[in-house]
Chains A and B, each alone.
Chain A
Amino acid sequence: MVAALLSVLFDGVAYGSVLFVISVGMSVTMGLMNFINLAHGAFAMFGGYLAIALMTRGGLPFAAALPVVLVVLGAAGAVLERLLYRRVARTRPLDQVLFTIGLSYIATAAATYAWGPSQQRVALPAALAGQLHLGAVDLGVYRLFLIAVVIAITAALHAVVRRTRFGAQLRASVDHPQAAAGVGIPVDRVFTASFALGSGLAGLGGALGIDVLGLDPNFPFKYMVYFLIVVVVGGEGSILGSAVAAIALGVIDVVGKYYVPGAGSLLIYGSMVGFLLVVPHGLFGVRR
């Protein structure tokens, strides 16, 4: 009983970890640029497809494909930010919503043409397959790997934001862009860099999460609400908040589907609405 609960909890944490890696970029863009990027999931989707293409056609091992995905999607994010996002940066929220929903439709159609409408499978390396038995508790090795990777990413992200010059510039720009620009911080470039970082992480999360979230052309719309929940519940722009919200979301979703299958996603949406009733600004959100 307890062992089963622990296994389910563990799955929930792994699921939440993937959600965190994908969503954290969206949270930072939202907090930093005040930009609603509903197409964020498309970066994750293309990350997943790219990883599969690299492994099946390029013959790369899984571990080598991941950094490539991070770099390629990051570069794609930087280019798109410079070419497209920048042009709609100062529009009303409605225009941002329409624009990014439009991008999501394009991404969905492109993925359907390139890879077909069906679910993709990923062949995980043998070392990451199977189960680990700790007493009566079964832990999937891949999920253990996921959690480890996500902890590493979070630590790295924390170090970058807290310890580096770029991190200081980023924090200053989030807090007060005018003042930051006034003391000579290239706010512009900080925007592009953080957008690229967020897109790269989303791609990485998409690649890591194929086995957990699935991968098909509808991905950007299917998980849109999950990413939004992470951003809003965690508080816009807060990395720690995103992490807490993502893990909580993953655990509630998995535990709910396991123990109350009749409720489906009602539990998630219900608890989200209830949560926002009490804490409208999210866990670590800044009141603006």
Chain B
Amino acid sequence: MTGPYRDDPEGAPDPAPILPSDRWRLADSALWLVAALGYLAFPAYRVLGSQVIITALFALSLDLILGYAGIVSLGHAAFFGLGAYTAGLLAVYGWGEPLTGLVAAAGAAALLGYATSFLVIRGRALGQLMITLGVGLLVQEAATKAALITGGVDGMSDIPMWRLLGVFRFDLAGSTAYAYSFAIALGSFVVIKRLVHSPFGLSLRAIRDNARRMPALGAPVERRQIAVFTVGAALAGIAGGLLAQTTQFVGLDSLDFARSAAVLIMVSLGGTGRLYGAFVGAGLFLVMQDVLARHSPAFWQLWLGLLLVAVVLFARGGVLGAAETMTRAARDWRSRRRAR
């Protein structure tokens, strides 16, 4: 011990160490059931609802990188925005088919993610921040300067989308948007859940916890990190593409640093490395933003700042982390009482 700094980082309460189990539990179904019921219960809020789902998917893509691989990114919006612009540009230039547009968005984001990952895995935490922040700003600057293609500051509005599956028109009430986002998010979630509970996912968590020991166990650390970063980028691209297609608008704000910071905050607020933290965090963040930003942007920033400081000081691991700590404490207390 040499004073408070520079020792091994004392971790947040990490998710309880469990063997990978891909079983679909009741809680898993409950969340998606709620989201599905939301479609019927609040027909007036389907536009907002689809955006919440998209944001949650975006947060989920970051959780994969942050919570499972331990890479702190300050530029995740680059992949989101690239996906949005890819889907948007495709539609503007004559190919408005939504599903193939999403595939293209995922592909473009994955390519950028793959290229970025080589830089990201080389550095330590500070280098990772720098690279991700730099790539995010680079992409935004490029989109601003290429105004002829991207519309620059004005963005692209009224993107002509074809009917989904050739049947469902994107309507103003957002019914198609909601159902479409829901289906894509659910599909992505099933894939991600499978991924993090596979041996691949387990090795990621091991690398996050001790990157030096893993090569001794025969795990190719860098290749795993490159792979997960690429997958996370592709998912972010899908989320971005979804937003572009359902709102039929793409603007520079999809690439903004504020968006990168927001998604990082969402995941941490909900709890990293738990998948559901992304949903909890995205929901909390959006509700608070809606309530607090009505007053003034500065008012929202003030509370957001205070909340972040409080979370780090008192509730590392976010909402789900705190909940887990409490359940564990309660269980210990009960078992101690029984022992007496």
Query: Do residues A105 and B308 form an inter-chain contact, with CB atoms below 8 A?
Result: yes
Digitize B304-321: 1 where CB-to-A-CB distance is under 8 Å, 0 elsewhere.
111111011100100000
Q: Which of B46-54, B117-125, B175-183, B225-233 interfaces with chain A?
A: B117-125
Q: Give every chain A residue within 8 A of B298 (Cβ-Cβ).
A: 108-109, 112-113, 117, 217
> Which residues does chain B contribute within 8 Å of A263, judged by CB atoms?
145
Question: Chain A contact residues: over half helix, strand or loop, or mixed?
Answer: helix
Q: Does A202 contact B (CB under 8 A)?
A: no
Q: Are B261 and A273 in contact (CB under 8 A)?
A: no
A103 to B265, CA, bound (A): 13
A263–B127 CA distance with the chains assembled, in angstroms = 24
B4 within 8 A of A: yes
Once A and B bind, how many residue pairs between them come within 8 Å at the CB atom? 169
CB pair A102 B2 closer than 8 Å: no
Is A104 interfacial (CB 8 A cutoff)? yes
Asked if A225 meets B301 with Cβ closer than 8 Å, knowing A86-B4, A106-B306, A187-B2, the reply is no
Tell me how many residues of B have a C-beta within 8 Å of chain A.
Answer: 53
Is A229 on the interface with B (CB-CB < 8 A)?
yes
Contact with A109, one of B2, B133, B305 (Cβ below 8 angstroms): B305
Interface size, chain A (Cβ < 8 Å): 62
Q: Is the C-beta of A65 less than 8 angstroms from some C-beta in chain B?
A: no
Q: Which residue of B lies closest to A269 (CB)?
A: B138
Contact B126 A231 (CB under 8 A): yes
Q: Decide: A93 and B6 in contact? CB cutoff 8 A.
A: no
Given A94-B268, A266-B138: A104 in contact with B305 (beta carbons within 8 A): yes
Q: Is A106 a contact of B305 with CB atoms below 8 Å?
A: yes
**When A90-B10, A188-B4 are in contact, do A97 and B122 touch as well, CB less than 8 Å?**
no
With known contacts A109-B301, A109-B305, A113-B298, A94–B4 Cβ distance under 8 A: no
Cβ–Cβ contact B141 & A265, under 8 A? yes
Q: Check B134 for interface membership: any CB of A closer than 8 A.
A: yes
Whether B72 and A93, one on each chain, are in contact in the complex, defined by CB atoms closer than 8 angstroms, is: yes
The answer, yes or no, to whether B263 is at the interface (CB within 8 Å) is no
B308 touches A280 (CB 8 A): no
Asked if B309 and A99 sit within 8 Å, CB to CB, the answer is yes
Tell whether, in the assembled complex, residue A101 and residue B119 are in contact, meaning their CB atoms are under 8 Å apart.
no
Q: What is the interface of chain B, defined by CB distance below 8 A to chain A?
A: 2-12, 66, 72, 74, 119, 122-127, 129-131, 133-135, 137-138, 141-142, 144-145, 257, 261, 264-265, 268, 272, 298-299, 301-302, 304-309, 311-313, 316
